[in-house]
Every structure is written in C-alpha cells, then in structure tokens.
Amino acid sequence: MTATVLFALTLLGADPDPTGVVQQTFFDADTLFAAVLRGQNPGTSPYGYDPGLPTGPSGPTFVQPTDPYGYDQFGGGEMAVPGTHAFDPGLGYGAVGPQPYRFGWSSRYDIGFLPDEGVSGGGANGKFGVFEINTAWRKSMIWPEGMPQSIFSVTPEFNYRSWSGPSNPALPPSVFRFAGDFELASPANNPLSYQVGFTPALVTDFDSALNGDSFNYDVRGVLFVRASNELMLALGVAFWNRVDNILLPYAGVVWTPNDRWELRLLYPKSRISYFLGNYWGAAAWVYGGLEYNVEAYEIGLEAPNGRDEKIQLADYRALFGLRAESGGVTGFVEVGWVFDRQVKFLHGTPGFDINTGFIGRLGLRF
C-alpha cells in the first residue's frame, strides 16, 4: 500500500535583547529526542568545516565564522550584521553543536523493514513481520505573537504498517496512524529552556468501529539545563496512552567533549554520534543508538468479550547508522536489532512474544 505525507520541523527569528541587537537565530533543544538528528554543515551551522582547509592529524579543520550565530540559508530571514552578537556561552559548539530553528516547513520521510520472525506464548503460532512508512511535516512559529521566547510548533503525522502473520491470532494486514503533535518551547540559546507537548492520534485498521480505543495520546514536559559548553541536562517526564498507560522519564544528558563526538544519553532514545568529515560536499556522521518503542492500534479482531481488540507492540531497538547532509537535505541509512518484543491486548486476547530480529531503516529530512 502506498503512503503519503506528514510534517517535520523548523524555524524562527527576531528576539530583541537588552543590547538593542536583533538576534536572528534561535536554537532548538527538541532535536535531543529526534530519531535522527539534523546534520550540521557550512551554511546551516554556527560552526562549520571548510573543505578548502587541510586535514590535520586529528581530522578536518573547523572554523568559526565572523557571525557566531551563523546564517541559516533556509531560514527565510535576513542575515545578521557580522560580529554584532556575542556568542552565547550557554550553547555547545563544534560539528555537533547548536541546531537552529528554520523559517518555513521541513519534511520527514522514512521506511523500515522488520523481516518475519517466529512468535511464541499465548497460543500464538507462525511468524510476524513489518514493513513501515513514516511521514511528517512540521511548522514552527513565534506564538503568542510578540513573545519571541515562546515557539509553537505543529506537526501532522502519518504512519502506515503492513503486517505479515502470524497464523494465530489473525491480525489485520494493515494499520494506520494519523496524529498531530502540538509543542510549546523556548529557545535553547538560554541556560534554561523548556518543552511541553501533546500528541493525539487516530490508530485503526479501518475494519473496527471507531470509538475510544481508536485513539492514543501522548503528553511530555522537559526542562533543559545547560551546565557548560560541553554538557546539557534534560529533566522531564512523558505519558504514553496505549493499551497500557505508560509513565516514563523523558530525561538524560548530552555531552559533546570535542568537535567530533556527541553523546546523547537520553531516554527513551539515546544516540552516540561521531563526525567523519566532509566528503564530496556532504557532511557525514556515523552513529549508534538505543530506542524504546511502543505502538498501539484498534483492530477488527474479536476479543473474548465480543469487542474489537486493541493491540500494543513494545520493543527495544539497537541501531547503527550513517547519515549525511548537503544543502539542508539529510539522508540516513541504519540497521540494527529489535529485541524484548512483547504484544499485549486490551480486551482479553492472550498476548505473545516476537523473536529478536533484524531492522533496517532509511529516510530523508529536508
């Protein structure tokens, strides 16, 4: 089946400061929890790699442009006067440094493949596999108007899952998720910044009758504390409404010890990235990470009590990947292992486990 369109990130501008200088760039802490981080390259990052400079024993040479806030060529705003705004010591630095909001829209398109693996427990038999499509568009804006320390983002999302098997229970071949994420945040330029969000979603196979089980919702709140140029703390919680009501930490630390390494030791998604350098005009990173993933859908499977069932699939994903960015477009490919795969039902159908297996994903961000 074919899937389309969903929205993902970026923006914003113009914050009058006490010096009378207009700040042209706001930085985004939200990417701390993104599945794949937006890349940094000359022209979109406050720090960049100049491919014209020689590569030393420790790798490529990094340069700091005259304007420490840089200029986002996709931002839609005017470039700040070079050198008029001192670099904010609350921000990180280097190849994995601050990531700016951008005016306008940006998009996310991913596909993933989890091949058939055996199932066990609860009377289940056969094999279960997944082909998935994930799309999103995100729009961010200063809101309320005239309050540049408040940034509102809205993200329509669409997700499609094609399921193969198992033989028992007889799951539907396809399920769908239509969601909208609403987020209010403050710029990460400051030593303290925050993010709160709400994500309602319609989750169905379109074979079941729509009711309260056809909806999930997520709530999150997090405070980001910049302890130093190298260290940021994230302190928060998230609530996921699935078959289970899941309360989990939305927290961790981000450590950037030098220009090449970034350690985002966070939950529910962690990632360690290493900057490889610029090749053929594209900046490249290699990374490894661990994710906790929980999905739920109402499906047209009759439960013991006669109702349509609601299914929950939970797992952990250990991933290794490569991403590259050029001209504001980021592509990635990653492979890994999915484990601790548990399936539960809301209305009495016995749950089952799925064997550990392979996962492959690739996608674009622009």
d(CA 22, CA 196): 26
pLDDT for residue 307 is more than 80? yes
pLDDT at residue 202 tops 70: yes
Q: Are 309 and 298 in contact (CB under 8 A)?
A: yes
Q: Check: CB of residue 107 under 8 Å from CB of residue 36.
A: no
Map tokens 């969000």 to a residue: 197
Tell me: pLDDT of 296 over 60.
Answer: yes
Nearest to 161 by CA among 174, 170, 172: 174
Q: What is the pLDDT of residue 187?
A: 79
Compute the CA torsion angle 13, 14, 15, 17 (nearest 10 deg): 140
Is residue 223 predicted with pLDDT exceeding 80? yes
How far is it, in rounded angstroms, from Cα 25 to Cα 77? Answer: 9
Say if residues 59 and 51 touch (Cβ distance below 8 Å). Answer: no
Share of the chain above pLDDT 90, in %: 55
Query: With helix as H, strand as E and coil as C, how does 234-303 read?
Result: EEEEEEEECCCEEEEECEEEEECCCCCEEEEEEECEEEEEEEEEEECCEEEEEEEEEEEEEEEEEEEEEC
Report, as an integer, the average pLDDT of 263-284: 92
Sign of the Cα torsion 248, 32, 151, 231 reads: positive
- pLDDT at residue 328 greater than cutoff 60: yes
Listing DSSP states for 288-346 in one string gives EEEEEEEEEEEEEEEPTTSSEEEEEEEEEEEEEEEEEEETTEEEEEEEEEEEEEEEEES
Report pTM: 0.76
- Rounded CA-CA distance 138/159 in Å is 15
Q: What gap in Å lies between CA 161 and CA 180, rounded to an integer? A: 18
Query: What's residue 13's pLDDT?
Result: 27
Mean pLDDT of the chain: 77
